[in-house]
Structure 1
Amino acid sequence: MTRHPTAPPSRPQPGPALDRRRVLALAGGGLAWAGGALAQQPEPSPPGDGERFDPARVVDLARALAKKPYAAPSNALPDPFGALSYEQYVAIRALPPALIWAGEGRGFVVEPLHRGFLFTNPVTLHVVEDGVVRRVAYDRGRFEFGKLKAPEEPRDLAFSGFRLYASFAGASPADCAIFQGASFFRALAAGQSYGVTARALTLRPAEAKGEEFPLFRAFWLERPAVGTGQIVIHALVDSESATAALHMTLRPGEATIVDVEATLCPRTPLEHVGIAGMTGAYLFGPTDHRNVDDARPAAHEIDGLQIRNGWGEALWRPVQNPETLQISAFLDQDPKGFGLVQRARAYGDYQDDVQRWERRPSLWVEPLGTWAPDVPQHGWGPGAVQLIEIPSESEVNENILAYWRPKEPIAKEAAFSYRQFWCWSVPGQPPLAVCSGTRVGRGASGRRRLFLVDFTGEAPFAEGLAPGSLRLSLHTGPGSLTRQQLYAYPERKTVRAVFELDPGGETACELRLTVKAADKPVSETWLYRWTP
């Protein structure tokens, strides 16, 4: 896996103009289509102008494309678009005539995004209106270019993706989602600003031979019916090792929900594939503020990985900015859900007047099912939630990656369905106290480390629990534990676990902590990997 490039130091706040941090984080491409036909792939053709739309044709297109050798799209652009700076790129704005469905009262408006800067590979856009496909043609007259002198000759440059505006609770359309760069996309709940990024497909992250980044090649957007509050998006993804067809239904709100049905068509057996992947930025926080000369108490858009595994256990793993690359696998069978979550929601947690980290969304995924020829399943079967933590020196680097990795390689067509919640808090929390704080500092002597772990919720203080019945279930491997204490604060509905880890000569220790009463958990399980 490679890190995203570092942005220049001065950046505007996220908003309708594409912010610099995400421009740099989401560089990627699309599919070169000429006159509605697949470049270098004469058969089959995609659903084109004037044709009746059938979602099955997008899946058929992915299948046919997977049987052919991979052909990378041409990213050539005429001057001056081929060598734009960030400032020049964000000065390119779509004019009102370029906005799709604006003024129609459908609850959604689509803004085609120009190519340039890091977004040089072409993506083809189509809309589906009354069941008929219409290709969105590029027209330079529908953009303003700031101080750039755009070429005079007419030329279809396609697009780099699109931004989606939605009417939250009937208000004027506001930022809701953006599909741009590789096969990345992001969404927002009402009142949020962009943060964590989803991936349509993840291939070979953190491997020595390099990560493979699939590309969006084309989109078909179904015109939403008035009053439905949802939009359906179809996408074709292409890569050296596989293709995919995506069917997405997006419903914005206090939590924006995206239902994803992904059909995966391997070109070669996929030994390391990630489903429902997501990335987020974590620079520092209460657990790893050492060696950080920063006036803020924290800088991150997510602070942990949350899992509900197939055995009904609720897990919380704080993420870190490690000294060296860290890879963790949480083995599971038919997971109930997982996601990169932002729990610290107060302005005072960050004291950042520009980034406003407390407004970034959590992304929670609930698997719905999977299918492969002759092997139908209701869940996702055996595998692991995989977490990758990459050392970073900049808050613009999306250095935390999480995804589902099936146990067995995928050698033939398979389909996965899941529901994304872009939310303030994870839905359907079990009745357990949740980890509300992790702090780590110097221990009593030597290499010992002192841990303070807080859990907040009603469960430890439930009626009928005898005073003093709470206890810690705490384990480490390797290393040893000392000074184990538990403090209860009923007025704050919080219990604090205090302990010291003595790693001895070890370079990594895996910690596991649960608060129990009558041998039953009253808190989620806290997991932590200590490294020097």
Structure 2
Amino acid sequence: MSIMCNDKKTGAGPNARARLFGLVVSCTLGLGLSGWVAAQQNAPAPAVAPAAASDIVTPALFDAIAERAKKLAKRDYAPIETNIPAALANMDYDQYRSIRFRPEAAIWHKESLFELQLFHPGFLYREPIVLHMANDTPESYVQFKQEFFNYDGPAAPLAGVAPDNIGFAGFRIHYPLNSNDYKDEFVVFQGASYFRMVGPGLAYGLSARGLAIDTAEPKGEEFPVFREFWLIKPGPNDTHLVIYALLDSPSITGAYRFEIMPGAPTEMAVEARLFARKDIQKVGIAPLTSMYMWGENHTRFVDDFRPEVHDSDGLLMAASNGEWIWRPISNHRQLRVSSMLDENPRGFGLLQRDRDFDHYMDMEARYEKRPSMWVMPEGDWGKGRAELVEIPSDSETNDNVVAYWVPAKSMKAGSSATYKYRLRSFDDYLPENVGAKVIRTRIGWGANPGQANPPPLSKRKFVIDFRSGELDNLSTDSPLVAELQKSSGTISELSVRQLPDGRTWRASFKLEPEGNNVADMRLYLKLRDQRLSEVWSYVWYPDAI
């Protein structure tokens, strides 16, 4: 299993996840490019009929891209050689961050509420993508030009090195998100099939991906790549933006439609039409990738002034039976994979629930501003599981958490599948989740202070605090109880009490593990047989201490 390098300063860096651990990410997109919006006479992409509005051109275009992906899946995977000069491939981080796109060169500059700025190829991003301007006739695409960029400071010697047919490393989308007089960057596509998006007042944190293949499998993960994008020009006052993409990898191809809707919250409607080249052991739908170093449930000493360091602190799932399930994230000593089985789930996502700066104390990273991401399936997703992968990590620059949906029915060579869903980037509040929520989980030794014959360190005390929902209306003497289930071990001293703030209720208990057996636990609060909270779900591994 690999760890993705996440550049906290630029908000991009997905290819480094493979580079760090020697994996090969075939992001080879070296198709010939010529002209800023030059006519492509013999393009392999589907031709686009003349159209005045994106709602006319896009359905036919998407069908054509899907047909191309289907035909591509019937052929062997063929990486295309790239032509990036060694000086660009070998540049360091300081050089790369000193190459800046000139805002006045942005696509649709002063023509729309949306503008696109482009990323220079090089550093970790050596395999360029093709950007098509789908509204132009004949079909056009964007050519790399030196004058789009300023080569400042340490990057000055690189001016003039890139050839005009080199392509781009990705793009970012700007929109007046936080104020009417400034266009904020709020979406980024860069590296493999990674992308990010944020809503007002938030900062980049976790990433989404187009697809995950064989994540956490012994044979190694495969990283599909968005090879080409089709940009649908919005009208001057349009508030939605449509983009298409062609995905490719040794095992699968796909056509993607993204409808981007900035706002509070920012959302993205996604449709993925997938075509398998080979039998695939595990396909991860709507994958999310994040970082967790330590937090409130961490059980090992950390020599750092910051109490918590993470982009996300839990996996939330809205099950088809109406349950809301919260599983806190951990940074384990070993790779851990856990699952929640369901059929047609209502939603799942990685959340950053803790929004208190005092819990992080980091003036640069501002982890309290990192977004949460919610996946809302549309249509019939069938049986499967939400899978959480937790990868050991010793650096916050590495993304080490992955979550996605795994269909029960695997994809075989020649098969196809379509998935539709919406992504929501938000803070920590989901209006659909009306019950009481877990606000923190703490774990410690199960000994009592001053105990003469204390138990072994393996005996643990769990403290789970709930807040909001119907708990706000309860008095201190309300007969609130905790319902607890576990797969192994012995539970003792289970209790529920209200904290002095009058808003928070604490469930606590002690667990004595059964040897080296893992304890999978579920706990929720109820009042006279009425469930008042989401389900706290936790897997305790005895080697965690």
| Same structural fold, with TM-score higher than 0.5 when normalized by the shorter chain | yes
Pairs within 5 Å for 1:36-185: 45-47=44-46, 54-104=61-111, 106-129=112-135, 133-146=139-152, 147-151=156-160, 154-168=163-177, 170-185=180-195
Task: State the shift of 1:142 in Å.
Answer: 2.0
* Alpha-carbon distance between aligned partners in 2 of 1:247 and 1:260, rounded to the nearest angstrom: 6
2:466 to 410, 435, 455: 455
Q: Which of 329, 354, 358 is equivalent to 1:319?
A: 329
Of residues 133-142 and 254-263 in structure 1, the stretch that sits farther from structure 2 once superposed is: 133-142
Matched AA of 2:168: F
Residues in 1 aligned to 2:182 and 2:387: alpha-carbon distance in whole angstroms: 39
What amino acid is the match of 1:398? D
- Measured at CA, do residues 26 and 114 of structure 1 come closer, stay the same or move farther in structure 2, by a change above 3 Å? farther
Distance, in Å, in 2 between the alignment partners of 1:432 and 1:131 is 53
* Partner in structure 1 of residue 527 of structure 2: 517
Summarize deviations over 1:50-88 as a string: whole Å, max 9, x none: 876522111111111111110113234124112111111
Q: Secondary structure at the match of 2:157?
A: coil
Paired residues of 1:30 and 1:218 also in contact (CA < 8 A): no
CA distance in 1, matches of 2:65, 2:530: 49
**Alpha-carbon separation, structure 1, partners of 2:338 and 2:106:** 43
Structure 1 distance, partners of 2:517, 2:231, is 51
Structure 2 contact 146–162 (Cα < 8 Å) conserved: no
Which segment drifts farther, 316-325 or 407-416?
A: 407-416
Q: Secondary structure at the match of 1:173?
A: strand
Is the 1:162–1:180 Cα contact (8 Å) retained in structure 2? yes
Give the letter for the 2:432 counterpart: Q
State whether residues 103 and 117 of structure 2, in contact with CA within 8 Å, keep that contact through their aligned partners in structure 1.
Answer: no
Greater mean deviation of Cα atoms: 72-81 or 25-34 = 25-34
Q: CA deviation at 1:393?
A: 0.4
Whole-angstrom CA distance in 2 between matches of 1:233 and 1:117: 26
- 1:115-158 CA distances to partner (integer Å, 9 max, x unpaired)? 10110012001123367632111112322223223346853101
Give CA-to-partner distance per residue, 1:502-531, whole Å, 9 cap, x none.
Answer: 114124211110111121210100001112
The 3-state SS of whatever aligns with 1:208 is coil
- What per-residue deviation string (whole Å, max 9, x for no partner) do you get for residues 352-399 of structure 1? 011000111100000012xxxxxxxxx211000001101110111111
Which stretch shifts more, 160-169 or 149-158? 149-158
Does residue 473 in structure 1 map to residue 483 in structure 2?
yes
Q: For residue 97 of structure 1, report the CA deviation from its aligned partner.
A: 4.8
Q: Which amino acid aligns with 1:75?
A: T
Aligned with residue 434 of structure 1, among 434, 437, 440: 437
Per-residue CA deviation, residues 406-461 of structure 1 (Å, 9 max, x unaligned), is 00112311100000001112433332100011111111121211111001013135
Shifted more, 57-66 versus 488-497: the winner is 488-497
Cα distance in 2 for residues equivalent to 1:390 and 1:431: 31
Alignment of 1:34 with 2:19, yes or no, is no
How many aligned residue pairs are there? 508
Contact map agreement 1:21 1:396 (CA 8 A) in 2: no
Residue number in structure 2 paired with 1:2: 2
Amino acid at match of 1:403: Y
Counterpart in the other structure of 2:406: 405
TM-score, reference length from structure 2: 0.88
Letter in 2 for 1:158: G
- Asked if 1 retains the 8 angstrom alpha-carbon contact of 2:11 and 2:205, the reply is no
SS state at 2:331 partner:
coil
2:83 touches 2:166 (CA, 8 Å); kept in 1?
no
Q: How far did residue 271 of structure 1 move?
A: 2.4
Task: Give the Cα–Cα distance (whole angstroms) in 1 for the partners of residues 375 and 226 of structure 2.
Answer: 21
Change (3 A) 1:238 1:426: farther
Show the counterpart of 1:39: none
Task: Name the SS of the counterpart of 1:55 in structure 2.
Answer: helix
Change (3 A) 1:490 1:417: farther
2:38 is aligned to none
Tell me: CA distance 1:81–1:215, structure 2 relative to 1, closer, same or farther (3 Å).
Answer: same
Q: Please say which of residues 432-441 and 220-229 is displaced more in the overlay.
A: 220-229
* Unmatched segments (≥5 aa) in structure 1: 8-12, 37-41, 370-378
The change in CA–CA distance for 1:351 and 1:491 in structure 2 (over 3 A counts) is: closer
More displaced, 357-366 or 23-32? 23-32
Deviation of 1:26 after TM superposition, in Å, equals 8.6
Cα-Cα RMSD? 2.3
Using the TM superposition, name which of 490-499 and 289-298 deviates more.
490-499
Other structure's SS at 1:63 match? helix
Note if contact 2:33-2:141 (Cα within 8 Å) is conserved in structure 1. no
Letter in 1 for 2:365: Q
Q: CA deviation at 1:212?
A: 0.3
Aligned-partner Cα distance in 2 for 1:26–1:208: 15
Structure 1 SS opposite 2:398: coil
Provide the rounded CA distance (Å) in 2 between the counterparts of 1:278 and 1:6: 13
Q: What amino acid sits opposite 2:384 in the alignment? A: G
Residue 228 of structure 1 aligns to a residue whose secondary structure is coil
Q: Secondary structure at the match of 1:129?
A: coil
Q: 1:426 to 1:31 in 2, by over 3 A?
A: farther
Instruction: Tell me the distance in 2 between the aligned counterparts of 1:409 and 1:527.
Output: 27
Kindly provide the amino acid, as one letter, of the partner of residue 359 in structure 1: K
Superposed CA deviations along residues 260-300 of structure 1, whole A, max 9, x for unmatched, are: 00000111122200000001000000111522111111000
Distance 2:92 2:263 in 1: 35
2:46 & 2:118 partners in 1: Cα distance?
19
Aligned pair in 2 of structure 1 residues 49, 307: CA closer, same or farther (>3 Å)?
closer
Contact 2:6/2:14 (CA < 8 Å) preserved in 1? no
1:421 corresponds to which of 419, 424, 427: 424
CA contact (8 A) 2:143 2:164 kept: no
Counterpart residue number, 2:452: none
Match of 2:352 among 342, 350, 373: 342
**Counterpart Cα distance in 1 of 2:274 and 2:385:** 19
Partner of residue 386, structure 1: 387
Q: Secondary structure at the match of 2:139?
A: strand
User: Quick one: structure 1 residues 403 and 154, their matched pair in 2 at CA, closer, same or farther if it must change by over 3 Å?
Assistant: closer
1: CA distance, partners of 2:28 / 2:184: 25
1:322 alignment partner, SS class: coil
**Letter in structure 2 aligned against 1:148:** P
Structure 1 counterpart of 2:216, one-letter code: A
Letter in 2 for 1:144: N
